Amino acid sequence: MPHSEHSEDDTIAIVGGGIGGLCTAIGLHTHDIPITIYEAAAEFSEIGAGVSLGPNASKAMKLLHPAVWKGYEKVRTNNVWPSHQKLWFTFRQGDAGSEYPEGKKIFEMACPTGQTSVHRASFLNELIALIPDGISHFGKRLVNITESPSNVVLHFADGTSARHSAVICCDGIKSTARPIVLGQDHPAAYPVFTGKYAYRGLIPMSLAIESIGPELAQNSQQYLGHGGHILTFPIENGKTLNCVAFSTAADPTQPRQDSSTKQHQKASKPNWITPTNHATLLSEFSSKTWSSIPLTLLSLMSIREKWSLYDHPPAPSYTSQNGLICLLGDAAHASTPHNGAGAGMAIEDALVISKLLGAVVTLNGERIRKAFRVYQEVRIKRTQKQVRTAREFGLVYDFQDPWAGDDLGRVQEKLERSKKWLWNYDIEKEEIERGIRRLGEVHG
């Protein structure tokens, strides 16, 4: 295929059209910063069904753009019962062999916004409506980025390339840009297996209510057990129950061998999603003495795949050595879903990077570098803590945490203590205002 290069030296490129990429585009457009979006797929899309967003994400959406929050409000789903509106999850006993009878409530975790969730595709459609016409290019799978002192050139699988003043890479956990930024052989360049798997399924709400009753079906629940847990929450305005069952690998360390090499990445690709069937799922959980309520939920799920859960080792930098490539969202700090905070972190990233670039009067290469550098400074500690605590929560839920074990009092204590730093956070003061002050210092 003949090569062609498209040049937009005065624009910032955004690679990836998921939640993080589109929120970044909306934020930059709000500040009249010229942008171009490149998406590998034929259209904007998100993987997965339901996504949960906490109070911190709600605040970030409001600060990013009122229309983002309005779009989220339009499609979000809360717990159905009024008595559950301010609860994140009700935690229940999931397996046998405990002082709690099966399904017995262990504790409820309060949350300022309650459990709010959306169907990913529905939320993405609301974001797409805010993207200006003519700035998005599809079928553009990134294969390389080359930098010069004044710009970047994006190289795509179709043989084309594009020149821009800088690029923000929101290309997810399998990011092409991350190894370019960190170095192909850097130990944090590629995601690593966490020893956990997930089975995802949707259940019609009418069937769920008939099978387990309205309280358990219409409000968010987590069923805890030894070596696994199951969470459920309503989506699509209460019409559907999102159900995810988590289990532990027989050898949690084996897939992590040679994790820093390109050979590992190539070898592990087939293991992201593996075929399975309903009988295998039920057999796995039945063998661990799971009780009737969780097993009933599993029997209602349509299962064909098992998802391996990966996260990123902490990156020393979110920007390239030359400073014109910036990582955002899962490309920078992919995590397991156990905190319900991965998408929220990407929205926070989008808010901060757009506010910092918007505070720069004249966008040239040197000032973009400084904005990217400050973004990294203010975001890296919080985002990497989220990755670490999400992995820890996976152990807590599965009674594998070294301190909490299956002591339910300790489980509750650790979960409640850990959520405070995530939800009760003043991003305006801690990152935006501090970041803009830092911009003045580095510009000075």
Write out the two tokens for 57: 């994400």
Neighbours of 45 (CB within 10 A): 13
Which amino acid, 132?
P
Catalytic residue among 76, 178, 200, 369: 200
| Lookup result for tokens 């909306």 | 26
Write out the two tokens for 358: 């918007």
Neighbours of 105 (CB within 10 A): 11
DSSP state of 101: P
Which amino acid, 130?
L
Tell me whether strands 4-15 and 240-248 are parallel, antiparallel or unpaired: unpaired
Alpha-carbon distance 91 to 102, whole Å?
12
Alpha-carbon distance 390 to 193, whole Å?
14
**Which phi and psi angles does 233 have, rounded to 5°?**
-155, 150
Neighbours of 16 (CB within 10 A): 29
Alpha-carbon distance 97 to 289, whole Å?
8
Q: Are 25 and 35 within 8 A, CB to CB? A: yes
- The DSSP element (H or E) to which 108 belongs, if any, is strand 105-110
379 is catalytic: no
By C-alpha distance, which of 305, 328, 238 is closest to 50? 238
Total number of residues shown for the chain: 444
Alpha-carbon distance 367 to 371, whole Å?
6
Separation in Å, CA 362 to CA 24, 34, 166, 365, 443: 19, 12, 14, 10, 12
Q: Helix (H, G, I), strand (E, B), or coil: what is residue 235?
A: strand
Q: Name the residues annotated as catalytic.
A: 200
